[in-house]
Amino acid sequence: MRKLPYIILLIVLFSVCTNLFLQANSSETKKLRHVVAFKFKPGITPEQMQKATKDFLQLKTRIPQIMELEGGPDVAIQNKNGKFTHCFVVTVKNQEDLNTYGEHPIHKAFSQSVDPLLAEVMVVDYWAE
């Protein structure tokens, strides 16, 4: 009977340690999202916008760190977008992959090609569970 409190204590400690370990490694189950919104300059044609969108979406097949990539023109009717016309979400595994993506020559070439078309760019990064 005297061993029962020790056994219960060991079970509780094991549970707490397991929970702490899982929390410490939770970044392995999370995904890092890189959200990019474009506001095109006045006078940019729909064809130029379509090409920029197509080129952005093609980065997924050209940069291995990208797990997922989606996006396109804003279709909201609430008119609360701050004049941003397009939004893209790039998903990577971790900060290292995001840094590699940002420095990748293909990403840099895309950024240089689209920069003259843009009046403004907004970027937000966050961890998604």
Domain boundaries defined on the chain: 29-128
Tell me the CATH number of domain 29-128, given options 2.60.40.10, 3.30.70.890, 3.40.50.150, 3.30.70.100: 3.30.70.100
What are the E-state strand segments in 8-79? 31-40, 68-73
Regions of the chain short of the pLDDT cut 50: 5-6, 8-10, 12-13, 16-17, 19-20, 22-24
pLDDT confidence of residue 13: 45
Cα–Cα distance measured from residue 10 to residue 78, given in angstroms and rounded to the nearest whole number: 56
30 with 95: CB under 8 angstroms? Answer: no
pLDDT at position 94 = 98
| Number of neighbours of residue 58 by Cβ within 10 angstroms | 13
Encoded tokens for 45? 């044609």
- Position 30 scores a pLDDT of 92
